[in-house]
Amino acid sequence: MRHVRLVAERIIGLCLVLLGVSAITFAISHLIPTDVARMIAGDFASEEAVAAIREELGLNRPIWSQYLIYLRGLLSGDLGVSIQTGQPVLGDLLRHLPATVELAIMALLLAVIIGVPLGVIAAVYNGRWPDHVARIFSLIGISTPSFWLGLMLVFFFYGVLGWLPAGGRMAVEHFGFPPVTGFYLIDSIIVGNFSLFLDVSLHLALPSLSLAFLLMGGFVRLIRASMLETLREDYIRTVRAAGVGHWRIIVKHALPNALVPFVTALGLSLANLLTGAVVIEAIFMWPGMGSYILDAAAALDFPAIMGFTVIAAVIYVLANFAVDLVYLRLDPAQERRLS
Amino acid sequence: MTNSANSAISHGRGLVSRIGPLMSNPLTAAGVAIVLIMAIVAIFAPVIAPYDPLVIDIRGRLLPPSAAHWFGTDEVGRDVFSRVIYGSRLSLGVSFTVVLIAGVIGAMIGCFAGFEGGLIESVIMRIVDIMLSIPGLVMAMALSAALGPSLENALIALVVVLVPSYIRLARGQARSVKGNAYVDAARLSGLSRWHILRKHVAPNSVQPVIIQSSVDLGNVILVAAALSFLGLGAQPPEPEWGALVGTGRNYFLDHWWCVVFAGGAIVLTAIGFNLLGDGLRDFLDPRHSEGR
């Protein structure tokens, strides 16, 4: 366990980063030109009522004291109370979390299932037509705004063909079914309702495909580059000389090594998934964190916006930490890179 | 001093003589062509656009594409073609402005941090780490919401989001440049630290920033459009492409032309920038070449 020290150092660094994030969100929320107390009280509230709210929120205190109060709240999981819903922000976000996570996981799966083989094929047929097709595909992937792609998919699969629903997580006739985990795919299996499962899957199809497309282009490029590099290695030539079959070499010997840098990309793509979800949820009326935060942004609900920013940073930082740990297992020679 | 000046000159000369090979890659040439066409469209928008992009004609609302209105008309009868043409000004303008400002600020802070070292560098880099741990669009959303939704504020938010990555790049390069013999020579010849930083370290540290910013041009177009689409950037009736798609979205199932053309313009421009960025990167930094 010589890595214990390294991991401990990383955890300390992680805490410092999160402390900094809290300072930034605090600073941003004090940038706002709006009078928050006035907003909560409403336009017709008396001066006394506004003053009372200001007192209650601690807005009269010195700025450092406000920050300490904010920080103490954060540490105990208190992200403040949403102006819009009147509920604690953390609870609101957690309620919306399963919808977003379900969407993100499906998108990630699709992106990997399509992107990785395409990248491998592009590298194997380097310079020939499958390579060109894959590269054009990835170029379009990284150049297409996900909100537009989502709308185009809705236009064709809902508007023209009528095959798939345009939005929401399930059809109206399934409304009122009591969520167990909040992950509807799992929930429908738990309650053994096959038609619900099918309905939920159909509703997931377009949003997850739009979101997946956002990642796919990057995945194809990365896998292709990493595969090309691996295929040039000496050990591949050795295996080939030993008479191992072409595709066997690629899948068994080259791909596992080419996937190592991909692990880091997965961690980084989490940021894309999170932010991409905001846009995609807006299009598909998907009741996740993205929709919640957009409503909050439209209503200038700062506790909610800042709460989401903190949570997004926490998820992102933790995911990259986890990726580093996996990396360390996969490739111990990278130890120096991390320290 | 002359040493680095010479190397800068020869570097510049090499750059010009290597433009040919850059353009010999058909993909890069295509990217350059797309970006040039878009730039021309943006510059000559008033000449090209057949209508005023803001003039409303309620009787001619939501008309399909025709000879009079190539891209149809929108929900209040404005000519979509003219709006997309004028939109190129906003989208290209935002992208170039953001990348330029962020690149200059990031390069300056990064060079300074890498050159100074010590406590200043650690503090700056810790702040950079913190900024980079907040996903870009989330940060941009929070900032533009806090500053008040407008195109200018979205621009500021995007600069803030981009700067940290440039600081990191420039700082890394400045650190390695600092170790070169000519910097030691300059120091020994009694030149001031400020002079060395400005004349010797900075010019040789900006290459990674230039490469990255050329790649970022395409990304910024997409993120800026997304912000406007979400209502956090350009506000209607400004003909920004993302905002056009955002408004057109309410009508697009029956009136596809409201979103198709504006979105297509975004895709085309982003493809142009991405091809150009890849070409520049392979050309300036052959280590990243994708094995062509």
Assign A108 a pLDDT band (cuts: 50, 70, 90). Answer: very high
Q: Indicate the average pLDDT of chain A.
A: 83
Whether B20 maps to a domain, the answer reads: no
Which of A20, A28, A144 lies at the smallest CB-CB distance from B146? A28
Would you say A302 and A32 are in contact if contact means Cβ atoms under 8 Å apart?
yes
Q: Which domains does chain A have, with CATH numbers?
A: 97-323 (1.10.3720.10)
Distances, alpha carbon A68 to alpha carbons A63, A75, A115, B15, in Å? 9, 11, 46, 53
Given a cut of 90, is residue B69 above it in pLDDT? no
Would you say B255 and B249 are in contact if contact means Cβ atoms under 8 Å apart?
no
Whether B15 maps to a domain, the answer reads: no
Give the list of residues 6+ apart from residue B182 with CB closer than 8 angstroms, or none. Answer: B3, B4, B7, B200
B250 alpha carbon, distance to own chain's centre:
29
Handedness of CA B221, B226, B227, B233 (dihedral sign): positive
Greatest mean pLDDT among A94-98, B69-73, B134-138 lies in A94-98
Assign B3 a pLDDT band (cuts: 50, 70, 90). Answer: very low
Output the six-digit token pair for B276: 């150009």
Chain B residues close to A275, C-beta within 8 Å = 135-138
Cβ-defined contact of A31 to B147 (cutoff 8 Å): yes
Chain A residues close to B229, C-beta within 8 Å = 145, 147, 279, 282
Q: Which residue has the tokens 């975004």?
A: B266
Would you say B233 and B213 are in contact if contact means Cβ atoms under 8 Å apart?
no
Peptide bond into B237 cis (omega under 30): yes
Higher pLDDT, B290 or A146: A146
Domain span at residue B90?
A: 25-49+57-290
Q: How far apart are CA A124 and CA A235, in angstroms?
A: 16
The pLDDT of residue B9 is 44
Q: How far is A188 from chain B (nearest CA, A)?
A: 31
Given a cut of 60, is residue B180 above it in pLDDT? yes
Q: How far is A273 from chain B (nearest CA, A)?
A: 10
Which of A24, A142, A309 lies at the smallest CB-CB distance from B274? A142
Question: Exposed/middle/buried for B135, CB within 10 Å: 0-12, 13-18, 19+?
Answer: buried
Whether B169 maps to a domain, the answer reads: yes
Whether B153 maps to a domain, the answer reads: yes
Assign B161 a pLDDT band (cuts: 50, 70, 90). Answer: very high
Given a cut of 60, is residue B8 above it in pLDDT? no
Whether B13 maps to a domain, the answer reads: no
Work out the number of other CB atoms within 10 angstroms of the CB of residue B32. 18
Q: How far apart are CA B169 and CA B98, in angstroms?
A: 17
B36–A contact, CB cutoff 8 A: no
The pLDDT of residue A209 is 92
Question: What CATH number is attached to the domain comprising B243?
Answer: 1.10.3720.10
Whether B7 maps to a domain, the answer reads: no
Would you say B174 and B113 are in contact if contact means Cβ atoms under 8 Å apart?
yes
Provide mean pLDDT across the span A131-146.
90
Structural domains counted in chain B: 1
Q: How far is B146 from chain A (nearest CA, A)?
A: 5
Question: Tens of pLDDT along A209-250?
Answer: 999 988 898 899 889 988 888 888 888 888 888 888 888 888
Assign B287 a pLDDT band (cuts: 50, 70, 90). Answer: low
Q: What angle do CA A163, A165, A171 make, to 5 degrees?
A: 125
Cβ-defined contact of B136 to A275 (cutoff 8 Å): yes
Given a cut of 70, is residue A1 above it in pLDDT? no
Cβ-defined contact of A152 to B129 (cutoff 8 Å): no
